[in-house]
Amino acid sequence: MTNAIAPVNTQLLVGNFTQNELETLKGTIAKGTSNEQFALFVQTCASSGLNPFLNQIYCITYNGKDGPVMSIQIAVEGIVALAKKNPQYKGFIASEVKENDEFEIDTVTGIPVHKIKGLGSRGKTIGAFCVAYREGMPNISVVVDLEQVSHLINSSVANTKKMWSDYLDDMLVKHAIKRAFKRQFGIEVAEDELTESNTGAPAPYERRDITEEVNTVDPVKELESPAAAQVNEMVIVRQKISAAFKTLGITDKEAQGVYMQANCTVAGDKPTLKELNGLLKVMEMDIAEKTAGDDDLE
């Protein structure tokens, strides 16, 4: 079976995607999918309103017992994006909990008490919590402990196990957020999870940095699809900006918005590729200055 896009079939499922954007998806985020799998992925994106270019939804292909299998994954950014479309959305709070923290939560009212007694003596991570708020509705609280996610921490899928081992705090918090938002807003989007029972020999998949793929695009095809190439560049720049925010220690969305307003002048409704590149340069200079300052303290 060929993996090339069938224009007639996919045009029926394009949603808000142009043909060039579909080609970009097929060659990067959904690389390795069959035409049928790709059509399902695009249809899921369109019907749910999730944007794969913003890392809200993505797919994984792996080798199952009966051949190649696609798993559609909804990122926590996607769950939050869906919730924000609800006019009753009132935000949320979430955090990891460590063994020496003072923590309790009223599961009826959803009111937590979380006190950190000392940054250097919090101990090991033992769980995470999230409270999702919605106007006119009870607060929904979710508490996740290590036992509940032991199947993920000890997963037979190498990438899953590595992510949970290397980024335990972040993964726990994201897990709590997703569960709280699904309960509070009734978000029902089909999502497959990789487990021992549905994996044969997993294909060597990682969420792709498509920089190298863009740089090796055939020159003739690149001239034929300039829009697709620009979408690729936008994805790459946004990924670099996201990584730069983490390096700068700016992880709060509100703080990121303030930083962007101060350092990125946007002429239209949305930033252009040129404006994002300008922001990235400012961030790189701030990172260099921060690194130099850290070196001076050593």
User: Which segments of 19-165 are extended strands (E)?
Assistant: 57-64, 67-74, 89-98, 102-106, 111-115, 125-134, 140-145
Whether residue 269 is predicted with pLDDT greater than 60 in this model: the reply is yes
Instruction: Give residue-wise pLDDT tens across range 195-218.
Output: 333 333 333 333 333 333 333 333
Q: Please enumerate in sequence order all residues whose Cβ is within 8 A of that of 211, keeping only pairs 6 or more positions apart, or say none.
A: 236
Phi and psi at 175, nearest 5°, equal -60, -45
Neighbours of 280 (CB within 10 A): 19
- Domain presence at residue 162: yes
| HEC assignment per residue over 260-286 | HHHHCCCCCCCCCHHHHHHHHHHHHHH
CA gap 6, 119 in Å, rounded: 55
- Domain presence at residue 277: yes
Range of the domain at 280: 218-293
Judgement on whether residues 102 and 179 belong to the same structural domain of the protein: yes
Judgement on whether residues 164 and 245 belong to the same structural domain of the protein: no
DSSP 45-57: HHHHT--GGGTSE
Give pLDDT, residue 225: 33
Coarse DSSP helix, strand, coil percentages of the chain, rounded to the nearest 5 percent: 50, 20, 30
CA gap 162, 156 in Å, rounded: 10
Give pLDDT, residue 156: 87
Judgement on whether residues 98 and 179 belong to the same structural domain of the protein: yes
Q: Which residue has the tokens 């009826």?
A: 108
Number of domains in the chain: 2
Strand partners, 104: 113
Which of these three, 185, 210, 239, is where a domain ends? Answer: 185
Judgement on whether residues 232 and 142 belong to the same structural domain of the protein: no
The CA-CA-CA angle for residues 78, 15, 35, to 5°, reads 90
Judgement on whether residues 222 and 276 belong to the same structural domain of the protein: yes
For residues 92 and 254, the answer to whether their CB atoms sit within 8 Å is no
Judgement on whether residues 103 and 154 belong to the same structural domain of the protein: yes
Judgement on whether residues 98 and 142 belong to the same structural domain of the protein: yes
Instruction: Give residue-wise pLDDT tens across range 42-78.
Output: 888 888 888 998 888 988 887 778 777 888 888 888 9
Judgement on whether residues 157 and 222 belong to the same structural domain of the protein: no
Which of these three, 160, 185, 210, is where a domain ends? Answer: 185
Whether residue 137 is predicted with pLDDT greater than 90 in this model: the reply is yes
The CA-CA-CA angle for residues 113, 170, 101, to 5°, reads 30
Which of these three, 144, 168, 185, is where a domain ends? Answer: 185
Q: What is the pTM of this model?
A: 0.56
Instruction: Give residue-wise pLDDT tens across range 81-136.
Output: 999 999 999 999 999 999 999 999 999 999 999 999 888 889 999 999 999 999 99
- Domain presence at residue 119: yes
Judgement on whether residues 157 and 244 belong to the same structural domain of the protein: no
135 burial type by CB count under 10 A (0-12 exposed, 13-18 middle, 19+ buried): exposed
For residues 5 and 36, the answer to whether their CB atoms sit within 8 Å is no
- Domain presence at residue 71: no
- Domain presence at residue 178: yes
Judgement on whether residues 236 and 180 belong to the same structural domain of the protein: no
| HEC assignment per residue over 128-158 | EEEEEEECCCCCEEEEEEHHHHHHHHCCCCH
- Domain presence at residue 14: no
- Domain presence at residue 111: yes
- Domain presence at residue 160: yes
Neighbours of 265 (CB within 10 A): 11
Q: Is 190 helix (H, G, I), strand (E, B) or coil?
A: coil
Judgement on whether residues 181 and 236 belong to the same structural domain of the protein: no
**pLDDT confidence band for 291 (50 / 70 / 90):** low
Judgement on whether residues 175 and 115 belong to the same structural domain of the protein: yes
